[in-house]
Structure formats: structure tokens, C-alpha cells
Amino acid sequence: MDKTVTLWTRNFKLAVSGMVISALAGVGLNIALSVVVFEFTQSTLLNSVYLAASFLPNVLLPLIIGPYVDRHNPLKVLVRNEIILALLFLSAGVTLYFVGFEYWSFLFVSMIISSLGVVSQLAGSSMVVQLMDRKFYSQGNAIISTIYPLSNVLVAPLMMWLLRHVGLETILIIYGFACLLDVSIERLIDEPFEYLVTSEKLNVKTYINDLKNGFQYLKDDRGLYTLFFYFSAVTFVSGAMTLMYPYFNRSAVLTNDHYGLLLSLQSSGYMFGGFFHYFVRIPDHWRYRVALSVYFMFSVLDGLFYFFSFPIMLGVRFLLGFCGMNSANIRTSAIQHRVDTVYRAKINALFAISFTFTEVLGQLLAGYLGDRLEIRFIQLGFNLFYFVAIWLIVVPKKNKLRELYNYSTGKVENQ
């Protein structure tokens, strides 16, 4: 079917199917890695160093991968990369089975996996947006954004059980086979993708010029530029969330099962938020107000999170998941609507670099403080910074975030 008539074309269905398989395995893997590293080290600092090192490729590689993806078929780039990832996970699982856990070796392998993940992220982002017509961006992003929360709901409790009974090595092997299944589905997509066709060879000068052009494109758009700096602050604050598992692990009354349940409730919020955004159209002139309200809500409830009793924690995480999904879809759709196709990978790369760098800084600072201060006061301090950032960056009209979010759309036809 024509993508101008419906969101649910054959190619979009294939892409979503591949994402579901990848997400089910990937969510479980991320939970398993975060739990295993802390339980072996019992240090918030070493745990944060591991997470930060895993994020480092996101700071450097987009500089190289962005221009490359702009010049190649994103589907072919994605498929080749997923095959390499599958082989790496299978090898890592077998090696871990025979050798056992060793922190620094584990950190090194995780950096390689993260490097390949950067390629998949940029190629996948460039691919999936071309499978949708502009008028379906909001609904499409709602569906895509729901996949990972739904996977979390299904996988998080199961993963804690699998870790206890089959071990991380088996989980790595399962993920390797999931990558191969993902590849077999994605290969069936037959969209004629747009990408930059040029006789100019990729070299250092080309990369520098491409990134300069991308950054200039960003600077020329005040709304995008504002969003760039604001979410750099947001990701810095989100680095403090790496202390959630250590908080539960050290608690006299909270357990790993409580932690798994909390992740499931948060993901349920994201999931229902995605469904809401798919079926309920937020009026154009309300998007900015909705997003701004959610930002303030996050700064207050996240800041006070560890002061709540566990039942209230569950309610807060569900509420923030629901509202956060809708504000995230507003942001993503606004960016996709604004950015030209030939600049998309460059802009995604610049955003990824900044967001990763600031999140790594947040993780390292939180990890350092986590060995010295009470975690709930660290969380409160980070979110006070978040609250101030909203007032200084998002609220002023001169920064034109309202114009970026409240873009005009035509009425979408029923599917």
C-alpha cells in the first residue's frame, strides 16, 4: 500500500516486526548487564565507569558514521551491522561461559558492542523515517516509541529470573540469535531509500565539512538549537538514574524483585502513553504547553522520588512514563518535521554526541557522589538543576521552542 495513504504499509510492518524482536532481546540484555556489573563490583563508581565507557562510542562515532550513512542505503548499512552484532554476541556468550566474568574485559567488549549499536541507531533512524509519510510522523513515532516500553513490561521480571537460573552467558547467546532473526525480517524491506549521491570521496576534510554544514544548519534554526542545549541538560540529569539499582540493592526493605516491578510499571506507563498518543491527536497549538508541563512534572517528581514509599514510587514511575512518552513523541515528530532528509543523519549525530557526552558526565558525577552521599539527596540536587534549566531555556519565547513544537499539520485521514 502507498505510504501516503496509510502508516501501516508492508515495509513499515516489517520494520516494526524487526524492532520488536530486537527490543525484546535488547531490553533484557541492558537490564542484565546493569545488574551483573554492580553485583560483581558493589561500587556505584565502578558501575558508573562501566556505563560511561559503554556510552563513549556515542560521543565519537557519530562524527564518522553520520556522513557515511548520509551517503549510503541505510537499510544495507543496518543489515550488515546487525550480522556483525549477532556474531559478536554469540562469541561473547560462549567466551563468558568458559572464562567467567572479568570487569575490564567486560568493559572492553561492551565498548565494541556500543560502537556497533551507534551504527544501528543512526542507520535505523534514517531508514524508518523514510517508511512514513510526513502526516503520519506523530502516529508512527508513537508506535515505535511503544515497542521498548512494551518489551520492558514483558522482559524485566523475566530477566531477573533468567539471571538467577541460566546466567548472563545464555542471555548473550539468545540476543545473538535474535539479531539474526531481526536481519532476516529487515532484508525483506524494499523501499527506494533516499541518500546523498556524490562523487566526492569520504576523507577527513569531507567529514569536517559535513559536520560544519550540519552544525551550521542547527545554528540557523533557533528552535532546534534551543532543543539541542536543553536536552543536553536533561541527559546530564538523567545520568543520576544509574543510582536506582544501587539504591534498591542497598535498601533494607527493597529487593531485586521490587526493582524489576518498578521497571515494569514505568514501562507500562510508556506503553500506555504511546497508545494514547497514537489514538488521541494533541492539537497543534497545545503541543508546547503539554511538553512544558511534563518537563516541570519530571523535575519535581523525579527529584522527590527516593523520599516516597514504594507504592507511591510505582505510581510516580507509571505517571512519568505515560507523560514522558507523549512529550518525547512531540519532540521527535517536531524534529523529523523540521529537518531535511539529507541533513537528518548529521543532525542525529550531533544530538547523539552532545546527549551522550552530557549523560556520561552525569553518570560519572552521580557515581562518584553515590559512594559518598545519600542517593536521595543526589537525585534531588540533579533535579533542582533540571528545574532551573527549564526556566532558563524552555520558557523564554526568544528561544522559539514553542514554534518548533507547534508546527502545523493537516488532518490525518483515517486508516
Residues of the chain with pLDDT > 70, as a percent, come to: 92
Provide the whole-model pTM.
Answer: 0.68
- pLDDT class of 39 with cuts at 50, 70, 90: confident
Q: What is the pLDDT of residue 200?
A: 65
Under 8 Å CB-to-CB from 307, ≥6 apart: which residues?
Answer: 376, 380
Residues of the chain with pLDDT > 90, as a percent, come to: 27
Environment class of residue 380 by beta-carbon count within 10 Å: exposed (0-12), middle (13-18) or buried (19+)? middle
* pLDDT of residue 309 exceeding 90: yes
From residue 228, alpha-carbon distances to 225, 236, 353, 377 in Å are: 5, 13, 11, 28
Cα dihedral sign for 211, 127, 182, 135? positive
CA distance 339 to 337: 6
Q: Where are the domains of the chain?
A: 10-189+202-405
What does the DSSP assignment read for 226-249?
HHHHHHHHHHHHHGGGGGHHHHHH
Q: 410 — phi, psi (to 5°)?
A: -85, 165
Assigned architecture for domain 10-189+202-405:
Up-down Bundle (1.20)
Q: What is the pLDDT of residue 185?
A: 93
* pLDDT of residue 412 exceeding 60: no
CA distance 370 to 358: 18
- Mean pLDDT of all residues in the chain? 84
CA angle 319, 326, 183 (to 5 degrees): 110
Helix (H, G, I), strand (E, B) or coil at 374: coil
* pLDDT of residue 29 exceeding 90: no
Q: Buried b vs exposed e over 58-82: b needs ≥16 C-beta within 10 Å?
A: bbebbbebbbbbbbbbbbebbbebb
| Least confident window among 71-75, 117-121, 172-176, 236-240 | 117-121
What does the DSSP assignment read for 337-349?
HHS-HHHHHHHHH
Dig out the grid coordinates for 147 from the structure.
Answer: 515497542
* pLDDT of residue 48 exceeding 80: no
Q: Which amino acid is at 371?
A: D
CA distance 405 to 412: 18
CA distance 21 to 140: 18
Average pLDDT over residues 373-401: 95
pLDDT tens by residue, 124-169: 888 888 888 877 877 887 788 777 767 766 776 677 777 778 888 8
Q: Are 46 and 171 in contact (CB under 8 A)?
A: no
CA distance 188 to 186: 5
* pLDDT of residue 332 exceeding 80: yes
